[in-house]
């Protein structure tokens, strides 16, 4: 008998097809997040649940006794929405999809960096609303990007890919903070400098780009104090997780001019986005598009399938995180 699997959201059709060939698969055709009750039922009925970032799986979402579910195959690299300790206690394996969304997420970090520095969103809004009165020397002056310094917080795959784009594509200097020492050819060739503290990075960077995981360890890593420690005229870019930034402190810093602007692809409590942010012109806001390309979403799905097949065949699971 094939393992029974439930997929919590719609996936690219090609991957749904592969999944249904491999497993007895239930798709959530409504494509709205399952409720906590539906998730609890899923733990009792399915061998695997394939969730994604829009599913909240804190400890309370896990069953108390035993679960039928033996695998949580997360569609996405970030898994801070899953309490991996609770999974471990129930003997549930958790996998993710590293590697395949690196470039596309770094592209979105650069989209935001360029967009907010050069006021692209604001310019487009002006033009679409019919308010553009024509070229003039003082119109919508932004910040130059080349020759500036990008500060990467979290020099993992996506951090490095963003640094590469910034350095080789846009002539930026790179400084970074990473918990462990990073000393490899890639960072050396970019002359990227690892600094001892986040504060050191904030003191030097014209653009601060966040690439660390979300969850308790990094919650509000960018708080009011650190936002105030950024250079005057600096910009914050977040393609990591919304909870890494204290959103209220960010709004205050943007309103007071403590920082010049922000480019945000992720939000604390998304899809809700504070109205104050939506009203500001000095921010560029995207609806969590980091990995949103056809190629990447298919690759993510195929990675989940690869992990699930390995798991149910009793082989080593390539991307086990718990």
Nearest Cα neighbor of 209 from 184, 186, 192 is 192
Residue 209, beta-bridge partner list? 152, 237
Which is closer to ligand DGY, CB of 9 or CB of 148? 9
Tell me the two tokens of residue 81. 């929405």
Catalytic residue among 288, 297, 306, 320: 288
Distance CA 99, CA 97 (A): 7
The residues of the shown chain that bind ligand DGY, judged by CB under 6 A, are: 52-53, 76-78, 101, 290-291
Relative orientation angle of helices 13-22 and 294-312, to the nearest 10 degrees: 10
The answer to whether residue 288 is catalytic is yes
Which is closer to ligand DGY, CB of 68 or CB of 298? 298
Which is closer to ligand DGY, CB of 123 or CB of 213? 213
Vertex 108 angle, CA 49 and 101, to 5°: 40
Catalytic residue among 40, 270, 306, 320: 270
Distance CA 171, CA 127 (A): 29
The DSSP call for residue 105 is H
Length reported for the chain: 322
The answer to whether residue 295 is catalytic is no
Which is closer to ligand DGY, CB of 56 or CB of 258? 56
Q: How far apart are CB 28 and ligand DGY at their closest, in Å?
A: 16
- How much is the CA Rg of the chain, to the nearest whole Å? 21
Tell me the two tokens of residue 158. 């996506």
Q: How far apart are CB 158 and ligand DGY at their closest, in Å?
A: 9
Which is closer to ligand DGY, CB of 263 or CB of 290? 290
Contact between residue 154 and residue 178 where contact means Cβ atoms under 8 Å apart: yes
Catalytic residue among 241, 275, 297, 313: 241
Q: How far apart are CB 42 and ligand DGY at their closest, in Å?
A: 19
Q: How far apart are CB 283 and ligand DGY at their closest, in Å?
A: 19
Vertex 315 angle, CA 312 and 317, to 5°: 85
Q: How far apart are CB 257 and ligand DGY at their closest, in Å?
A: 30
**H/E element holding 237?**
strand 235-238
The DSSP call for residue 180 is S
Q: Which residues are marked as active site?
A: 241, 270, 288
């Amino acid at each position: 008998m094939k393992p029974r699997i439930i997929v919590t959201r719609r996936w690219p059709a090609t991957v749904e097809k592969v999944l249904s060939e491999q497993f007895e698969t239930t798709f959530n055709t409504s494509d709205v997040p399952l409720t906590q009750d539906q998730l609890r039922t899923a733990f009792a009925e399915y061998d695997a649940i394939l969730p994604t970032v829009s599913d909240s799986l804190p400890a309370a979402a896990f069953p108390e006794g035993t679960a039928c579910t033996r695998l949580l195959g997360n569609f996405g690299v970030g898994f801070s929405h899953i309490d991996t300790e609770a999974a471990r206690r129930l003997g549930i394996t958790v996998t993710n999809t590293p590697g395949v969304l690196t470039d596309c997420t770094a592209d979105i970090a650069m989209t935001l960096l360029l967009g907010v520095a050069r006021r692209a969103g604001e310019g487009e809004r002006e033009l679409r609303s019919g308010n553009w009165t024509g070229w003039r020397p003082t119109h919508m002056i932004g910040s130059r990007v080349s020759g500036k310094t990008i500060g990467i917080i979290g020099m993992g795959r996506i951090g490095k890919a963003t640094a590469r784009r910034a350095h080789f594509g846009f002539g930026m200097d790179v400084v970074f903070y990473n918990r462990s020492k990073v000393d490899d050819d890639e960072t050396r060739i970019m002359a990227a400098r690892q600094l001892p503290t986040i504060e050191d990075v904030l003191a030097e960077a014209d653009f601060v780009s966040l690439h660390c995981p979300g969850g308790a360890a990094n919650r509000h890593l960018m708080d009011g104090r650190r936002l105030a420690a950024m250079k005057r005229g600096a910009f914050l870019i977040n393609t990591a997780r919304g909870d890494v930034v204290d959103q209220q402190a960010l709004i205050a810093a943007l309103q007071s001019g403590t920082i010049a602007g922000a480019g945000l692809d992720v939000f604390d409590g998304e899809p809700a986005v504070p109205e104050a942010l939506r009203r500001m012109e000095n921010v560029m806001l995207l609806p969590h598009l980091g990995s949103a390309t056809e190629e990447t979403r298919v690759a993510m799905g195929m990675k989940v399938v690869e992990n699930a097949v390995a798991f149910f065949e009793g082989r080593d699971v390539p991307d086990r995180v718990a």
